[in-house]
A and B are shown apart, each in its own frame.
Chain A
């Protein structure tokens, strides 16, 4: 593994990019991070992800791996001797994959709608979002992490969204702490890990970024 070349094509506010940052940090893998300008995508990005033209892309010894959940699994399988993210038991692995899919399909969408819509649609999105948080709290149960005693696959898949919560709360006019205190406790616990703290951007910067996006999309 000493001669591995690992490159991450990324974009600082992307909760999907954050997944790979955390996974690589947990595994103590040295890599080069290349920040993409999504309004002017690099030839490398277009070459490495011709189907979707999206970040993040992990490039390992010249070979691209696209789609963040798939890349996290890849990282977990290749650098398997350190900080395992998926459990060993097939049933537990299936549960972890199920929750990662839920986060990508339900949670992401409802969060996005909070800052891209107004009025009734926004209220519905807020309701959905809080409902998702409660479902995820249920899945967490009494465990410190979704992965049990340590950060696991689902924690890595989910925690990046926390950097966007300040923006969601500002536009949605609600408090996660008030609605789902257990979720916030979990998030703060994750943030105590170096791999997470160093991978998430400042929430105020994310809010500023969302402000510029709203202007660009004419949502204001």
Chain B
């Protein structure tokens, strides 16, 4: 039987992406929980370049970078396809995944968790990015169309984690008045059957971020 190990942290959206992909394909794996403040020799050996999680180790061979891992999982294992088959559709899925992962996520992270001028600037940039996402989602339920796809998984942190962080901060500015399609997508994503059962504990995440804000704000 193939040996599959995943080095990661369940509360991290990057690890979650890979867990979702493995579970979607029905692949059994062993999650090795990493302490990111005290990285294991296995992690440092498996990802010497970035020294980051997640790392998938398949039959002793490491694969790094969550979206690269997902493409590997899609190509290696049977089960529902994560990327479409048509080359043009694949290019579109990869485009949105990259935009969401490289641009939207870090900017929103700064907008919610940053401070001072950097936070203000990030918030302004975020509004523009959300307008783009809102427009893209005008005529479809998910970035992948009717079903969750590659780009939706790249946006997992935006859908689940960022909403929780916002609530924990006590300042909600991503509203359905301003971004109706984006908020509808977020709602659909968090509640759809392919994702819901694999999401980490909302309460655990909320508590973690709430203590970070030192805020007594109750969830709305």
- Decide if A135 is an interface residue (CB 8 Å cutoff): yes
Q: B91 to A70, Cβ gap below 8 A? A: yes
- Decide if A90 is an interface residue (CB 8 Å cutoff): yes
Q: Convert B99-111 into 0s and 1s, putting 1 for each residue whose CB lies closer than 8 angstroms to a CB of A.
A: 1000000000000
Q: B58 to A67, Cβ gap below 8 A? A: no
Hey, which chain B residues are within 8 Å of A182, CB to CB? none
Q: A67 to B95, Cβ gap below 8 A? A: yes
Q: Convert A63-84 into 0s and 1s, putting 1 for each residue whose CB lies closer than 8 angstroms to a CB of B.
A: 1011100110110011000000
Number of CB contacts from chain A to chain B under 8 A: 53
Q: B90 to A94, Cβ gap below 8 A? A: no
Q: A77 to B63, Cβ gap below 8 A? A: no
- Decide if B171 is an interface residue (CB 8 Å cutoff): no
Task: State how many angstroms separate the Cβ of A37 from the closest Cβ of chain B.
Answer: 24
Hey, which chain B residues are within 8 Å of A77, CB to CB? 87, 90
Q: B68 to A66, Cβ gap below 8 A? A: no
Q: A70 to B95, Cβ gap below 8 A? A: yes
- Decide if B212 is an interface residue (CB 8 Å cutoff): no
Q: A65 to B68, Cβ gap below 8 A? A: no
Q: Convert A168-209 into 0s and 1s, putting 1 for each residue whose CB lies closer than 8 angstroms to a CB of B.
A: 000000000000000000000000000000000000000000
Q: State in angstroms the CA–CA spacing of A71 and B94 once bound together.
A: 10
Which of the 9-residue segments B12-20, B37-45, B71-79, B158-166 touches chain A?
B71-79
> In the complex, what residue of chain B is closest to A97 when comparing beta carbons?
B68
Hey, which chain A residues are within 8 Å of B90, CB to CB? 73-74, 77
Q: B98 to A94, Cβ gap below 8 A? A: no
Per a CB cutoff under 8 Å, which of B69, B94, B95, B132 touches A94? B69
Task: State how many angstroms separate the Cβ of A52 from the closest Cβ of chain B.
Answer: 8
Task: State how many angstroms separate the Cβ of B21 from the closest Cβ of chain A.
Answer: 13
> In the complex, what residue of chain B is closest to A63 when comparing beta carbons?
B88
- Decide if B61 is an interface residue (CB 8 Å cutoff): yes
Per a CB cutoff under 8 Å, which of A65, A91, A93, A95 touches B91? A65
17 pairs of residues in contact across A and B, judged by CB atoms under 8 Å: A51-B99, A65-B95, A66-B95, A67-B95, A70-B95, A73-B90, A77-B87, A77-B90, A78-B87, A90-B75, A98-B63, A98-B64, A98-B65, A98-B68, A101-B68, A102-B49, A135-B49
The 9 closest A-B pairs by CB, nearest first: A77-B87, A90-B75, A94-B72, A74-B91, A94-B63, A97-B68, A70-B94, A65-B91, A90-B76
